[in-house]
Chain A
Amino acid sequence: MTFNKNRRRFLAGASIALAAPAIIGRVQAATDDIKFVSILDQSGGLDIYGKPMVDTTKLAIEEINADGGLLGRQIDLKVYDPQSSIQLYTQFATQAAAGDKADVVHAGITSASREAIRPTLARFQTLYFYNVLYEGGVCDFNCFCTGSTPAQTVEKLVPYTMNKWGKKVYVVAADYNYGQITAQWVQKYVSDNGGEVVETEFFPLDVTNFGTTIKKIQAAKPDMVMSALVGGAHVSFYRQYAAAGMNQSVPIASTTFGIGNEHKLISGEEGDGMICAYSYFEEIESEANASFTSRFKDSMGDDAPALNELAARSYEAAYLWAEAVKQAGSIDRMQVIEVLRTGLSIDGPSGTVAIEPKTNHALQNVYLAELKDQSFNIVESYEAQPPTDTLLVCDLVGNPNQSTFYFQNGLEAAGIEIQ
């Protein structure tokens, strides 16, 4: 314990000591490659999310480099593996900002990891992209959150599934900030649509036995289950649910299922009928997506994992940043941020993705899909959805000098009351 504390103190001291040289160093490095750092879990329980994200980031950087790079310079991609440990996130973020003098950092999977590194990157004034769907509420001039948020996805998912299945909803969620806050969003949208959340349960990330919960669901007799479970161990829930025959009687909708390619891990019979909403599915039918998936398969060969929102958005976010650098004609952080905040957009495999300047979030397409035989069939699509959740609390146009996570303690900050 004391060792840890001392080390942390040492790191904090070292960070301050290194901050000044970092700025000088950046000028000196101007003739070298552009430094793109990615910090994503490739081992430990979160690797089911992180590995495809790293694969698509590599593909994007390779393509940009093969196309002549940016501003006549090549991009040097450096990938760190924080091994699903928050402590390593902080360490690598400091290393990326102070040691590598990164021009941009794309990092973080869980909201916990994002909140561990966001302040560090803001302090070092290192441009930061977070490319994962999350609970909303980050309001940070230096940080671009390109993933979808509950107002874009859950807001569509809840009424659609409630109309289809019924108004009594049972919520199961992962026990950390994402699950807790998403459960509140679900509660809000369920009551907005005249339904009722009969019970909400939270699970630590290493729980693998869901038997008692399944009995509680049977006792509560809901019309549907809404799942915000996260990580490899939680995949057990869907299998045990199906093994008890529950998938035939009480269907599941989820805000997370599929983004770790869970639909490929369980069988068709176990997963059929689940409904999810994301801003990207591999099954989207468009030329841009067909070309993206085939390029990805070519680069990965037989080992290519399935593509999901996290993977596709990591790819698109790399291009968003590259486009901003091109238009700014510079890698200077402020100039790049200014270009991004003009509402910069790119056309990617998911459709058009544009930066929304009040929140530094993304306007993006959202798709609703139903699982059948390990594939998602898209049933509804919505174009250019704004992040209305974060817009409730965040206005970076009015006050750019912010670096706050407003939903830290739940949705009260947005004036939303949860009973």
Chain B
Amino acid sequence: MDLNLVIALGIQIIYGIANLTLISLGLAIIFGMMRVINLAHGEFIMLGGYTVVISTNAGVNIWISMLIVAPVVVGVIGVLVERLLIRWLYGRMIDTLLATWGLSLLLIGLVTSIFGASTATTISPPLGVVSIGDYTSSAYELLLIGITVALCLIIFLTLKLTRLGLIARGTMQNEEMASALGVSTPRIYMLTFGFGAAISGFAGGLLAPVTGVLPTIGVAYIAKSFITVISGGAVILAGTVSASAVLGGVNGIVSFLTGPTIGEVALLFAAILLLRLMPRGITGRFFRKGL
């Protein structure tokens, strides 16, 4: 194996990890902060993809539609969903599970009936190819790694340094105390859900040019993002990133050595092993004080 292949493969594995982080962050925020299991998470990602395709086809610059329009649109949808559906079900985990599953089917059905079973996603980002010796990677994949790192930083700084982040963390830790101190907790829940949805939409928008959009594409994401978030444990950022690193790394290396089928099996096996050894996720044992 020559050095170039090692580098190219290394980038590919980091991309796999970034990809897993990107699709899981929105879910991690909603689950980690609000204890709401959002089974419509995959469909939020799908809606982000559709938003990008539609707005780009309507003449909006592709970067604006990916970086701004997709998170805003899906964030607004998230706020609506929280107001109309989720807020009636706080503390009732099984009920939210069912309700969001229903929502997921509804969204798939709606998008299929509006746009049809398959949609032309002929958008592609105007970025070329990066060569490493004989190997080539898409420059867009490198950009996605960068964007994922930036996104993690922004979430970290928001939670750590801003007043809103402080209030949000306080509300999640002790709702009654926060409310006694004059915080409007329903509003915080609404914003947190919207923020989580916006990040899912952002992920979907960024992935649309590499995976394409289909009404059913959410199904391909939901299982993996759930496994990542659960393996990560309660701490949102450190949990998601560390779980993505373990699972994405295992998946990438095993896929290269054997093949994608065994690669997927290895990912699931790693998750089972992880949860057997650390039932409360990675952050149940490490980075407990993290964010």
Do A and B belong to a common assembly? yes
**Cβ contacts under 8 Å, A214 to chain B:** 12
Cross-interface CB contact of B216 among A47, A207, A244, A245, cutoff 8 Å: A47
Q: Which residues of A contact B123 (CB under 8 A)?
A: 267
CB <8 Å contact, B124 and A233: no
- Cross-chain contact of A305 among B16, B116, B264 (Cβ < 8 A): B116
CB distance from A32 to the nearest CB of B (A): 32
Which residues of chain B are within 8 angstroms of A204 by Cβ–Cβ distance? 260-261, 264
Does B211 reach chain A (CB closer than 8 Å)?
yes
Residues in chain A near residue B134, CB distance under 8 A = 218, 221
- Is there a chain A Cβ closer than 8 Å to B48's Cβ? no
Q: Which chain A residues numbered 256 to 278 have a C-beta less than 8 Å away from chain B?
A: 260-261, 264-270
Q: Is the CB of B19 within 8 A of A209?
A: yes
A203 within 8 A of B: yes
CB interface residues, A 197-230, toward B, < 8 Å: 201-204, 206-209, 211-216, 218-219, 221
Given contacts A51-B117, A244-B136, A245-B136, contact A233 B217 (CB under 8 A): yes
Q: Is the CB of A45 within 8 A of B261?
A: no
Interface status of B256 (Cβ within 8 A of chain A):
yes
Check A201–B260 contact: CB distance below 8 A.
Answer: yes
Contact segment of B71-79, B82-90, B137-145, B174-182: B137-145
Decide yes or no: A233 and B5 within 8 Å by CB, A201-B260, A204-B260, A216-B256 being known contacts. no
In angstroms, Cα B9 to Cα A271, docked, is 25
For chain A, the count of residues having a C-beta within 8 Å of the partner chain is: 49
CA distance A51 to B121 in the complex (A): 18
A215, chain B: closest CB distance, angstroms: 5
- How far, in angstroms, from A51 to B118 measured CA to CA in the complex? 10
Chain B positions within 8 Å of A219 at CB level: 5, 135
Neighbour of B212 across the interface among A47, A207, A218, A235, CB < 8 A? A235
Q: How far is the CB of B201 from chain A (nearest CB, A)?
A: 17
By a CB distance below 8 angstroms, the chain A residues around B141 are 211, 243
Question: Of A44, A47, A245, which contacts B138 at CB under 8 A?
Answer: A245
A213 touches B216 (CB 8 A): no
Whether A19 sits at the interface, judged by CB under 8 Å, is no
Q: Considering residues A175, A214, A246, A268, which has the most beta carbons from chain B within 10 angstroms of its beta carbon?
A: A214
Once the chains bind, are B210 and A266 in contact (CB under 8 Å)? no
Closest residue on chain A to residue B133 by CB atoms: A218
Once the chains bind, are B211 and A208 in contact (CB under 8 Å)? yes
Q: Tell whether A352 is near chain B: CB-to-CB under 8 Å.
A: no
Q: What's the minimum C-beta distance from B263 to chain A, rounded to whole angstroms?
A: 7
Partner of B118, one of A201, A202, A260: A260
A202/B260 contact (C-beta < 8 A), A48-B117, A218-B136 known: yes
Distance in angstroms between the alpha carbons of A246 and B134 in the assembled complex: 11
Supposing A201-B260, A245-B136 touch, asked if A208 and B121 sit within 8 A by C-beta, the answer is: no
Determine the chain A residues whose CB is within 8 A of the CB of B210 once the complex forms. 236, 239-240, 243
Looking across the interface, which residue of chain B has its beta carbon closest to that of A50? Answer: B117
Q: Is A377 an interface residue (CB 8 A)?
A: no
Partner of B211, one of A201, A239, A305: A239
Q: Tell me which residues from 258 to 283 in chain B have a Cβ below 8 Å from any Cβ of chain A.
A: 259-261, 263-264
Given the known A-B contacts A203-B261, A244-B129, are A213 and B255 also in contact in the complex, defined by CB atoms under 8 Å?
Answer: yes
Give the complex CA separation of A155 and B152 in angstroms: 51
Residue numbers in B under 8 Å from A209 (CB-CB): 16, 19
B58 / chain A contacts, CB cutoff of 8 Å: none
Contact A43 B12 (CB under 8 A): no
Residues in B with CB closer than 8 Å to A387 are none
The smallest beta-carbon distance between B148 and chain A, in angstroms, is: 14
Is B252 part of the binding interface, using a Cβ–Cβ cutoff of 8 Å? yes
Distance (whole angstroms) from the CB of B76 to the closest CB of chain A: 26
Tell me if A351 counts as interface (CB < 8 A to partner B).
no
Is A349 interfacial (CB 8 A cutoff)?
no
Cβ of B209 under 8 Å from chain A: yes
* Interface bracket on B: 35 or more
In the complex, are the beta carbons of A43 and B112 less than 8 A apart?
A: yes
User: In the assembly, what is the distance between CA of A84 and CA of B217, in Å?
Assistant: 13
Closest to B125 in A: A243
* Residue interface bits A320-347, CB-to-B below 8 A is 1, else 0: 0000000000000000000000000000
CB B244 to nearest CB in A, in angstroms, measures 13
CB within 8 Å of B: which A35-82 residues: 42-45, 47-48, 50-51
Q: Is A232 an interface residue (CB 8 A)?
A: yes
With A44-B216, A212-B16, A244-B129 already in contact, the answer to whether A265 and B261 are too (CB < 8 A) is no
Instruction: Judge whether B214 is part of the interface by a CB distance below 8 angstroms.
Output: yes
Asked whether B108 is an interface residue with its Cβ less than 8 Å from the other chain, the reply is yes
| Closest B residue to A232 using CB positions | B214
Partner of A206, one of B129, B136, B137, B220: B220
Q: Within the complex, what minimum Cβ distance (angstroms) separates B133 from chain A?
A: 10
Chain A residues near B15: list those with CB within 8 A. Answer: 211
Is B12 touching A211 in the complex (CB atoms < 8 A)? yes
Set of chain B residues within 8 Å of A264, measured between Cβ atoms: 118, 120
CB distance from A179 to the nearest CB of B (A): 10
List chain B residues, Cβ under 8 A from A266. Answer: 121-122, 212
CA gap between A209 and B144 in the complex, in Å = 13
A240–B121 Cα distance when bound, in Å, is 13
Specify which of B8, B209, B217 is in contact with A218 (CB 8 Å cutoff): B8
B173 at the interface (CB under 8 A from A): no
Residues of B within 8 A of A270 (CB): 122, 124
CB distance from B194 to the nearest CB of A (A): 26
Tell me, rounded to whole Å, the shortest Cβ–Cβ distance linking A99 to chain B.
25
What is the bound-complex CA distance between A396 and B234, given in angstroms? 62
CB contacts (< 8 Å) of B109 on chain A: these are 43
Instruction: Give CA–CA (A410, B221) in the complex, Å.
Output: 32
Given A239-B210, A239-B211, 5 new contacts (CB under 8 A): A47-B216, A204-B264, A218-B135, A236-B210, A267-B122
Closest CB pairs A-B (n = 8): A243-B138, A245-B129, A267-B122, A47-B117, A232-B214, A236-B211, A206-B220, A212-B255
Q: List 19 A-B contacts (CB under 8 A).
A: A44-B216, A47-B112, A47-B117, A50-B117, A51-B116, A202-B259, A203-B260, A207-B260, A209-B16, A211-B15, A212-B16, A212-B256, A232-B216, A232-B217, A235-B212, A243-B138, A265-B121, A266-B121, A267-B122
